[in-house]
Structure 1
Amino acid sequence: MIKHIVMWKLKEHAEGADRATNAARMKAMLDACAGIVPGILKLEAVVAQPGLEATYDVLLYSEFADQAALDAYQHHPQHVALKPFFGAVREARQCMDYEV
């Protein structure tokens, strides 16, 4: 199994919207990717909650059956279509994949 974790820190304003609006939009876009390829075991997108410690605004925690499933997700047109918006609204991005 491959775990794929990504975190985004967002710009205060981008694409005509504030940070909170863009974070909610990102979450909805990620949630829509939950079943786009076989082998996605778990896909959970969350937005930082007020009052709880967070240095990033949006987090994706996902699990894939194997590297082939992760590769299929990464190259799926629906996932690729997220990248322009995510790139426009993000200030920073961190990612880590690891096998368990």
Structure 2
Amino acid sequence: MIRHLVFFKLAEEAEGNAKAENILIVKEKLEALKAVIPVIRKIEVFSNHPLASSENYDIVLDSEFDSLEDLKTYAGHPEHLKVGEFIGKVRIGRAAIDYEF
């Protein structure tokens, strides 16, 4: 199994929305991918606690796949690319790690 963790730092305002609204939109869009990309075993999105350090990333994507090949399928899927296009417009930072467990 492969765990794919991605952290996003969002702009205070982007695409006509405040950061808090974009956090909810990103969460909804990413979690909806489970219904359209069969290789996703698990996908959850969590946001940083509002009272936590503002230096923290705003969102973490926690997802699981059976293999690296499945992760690549997910990464190249047209629906994932659409979500990535939106995230690219609202994020100012990204960090990721993929590991086997």
Contact 1:10-1:92 at 8 Å conserved across structures: yes
Deviation at 1:53, TM superposition (A): 5.0
Residue 88 of structure 1 pairs with residue 76 of structure 2? no
The aligned counterpart of 2:23 is 23
Q: Which residue of 1 aligns with 2:100?
A: 99
RMSD: 1.4
Counterparts of 1:97 and 1:42 in 2: how far apart (Å)? 14
- Name the SS of the counterpart of 1:26 in structure 2: helix
Partner SS state of residue 9, structure 1: strand
- The structure where helix makes up a greater share of residues is 2
Fraction of identical pairs, as percent:
39
The TM-score with structure 1 as length reference comes to 0.91
Q: Tell me the equivalent position of 1:12.
A: 12
Partner Cα separation in structure 1 for residue 13 and residue 65 of structure 2:
33
Residue-by-residue CA offset, 1:44-95 (whole Å, 9 max, x unaligned): 1112222345701111001101112111111111101012211111010001
Q: Unmatched 5+ residue regions in structure 2?
A: none
Counterparts of 1:80 and 1:3, CA distance in 2: 19
TM-score in terms of structure 2 length: 0.90
Q: String of CA shifts for 1:3-62, please: whole Å, max 9, x gaps.
A: 100010000111111100111100000010123333322111112222345701111001
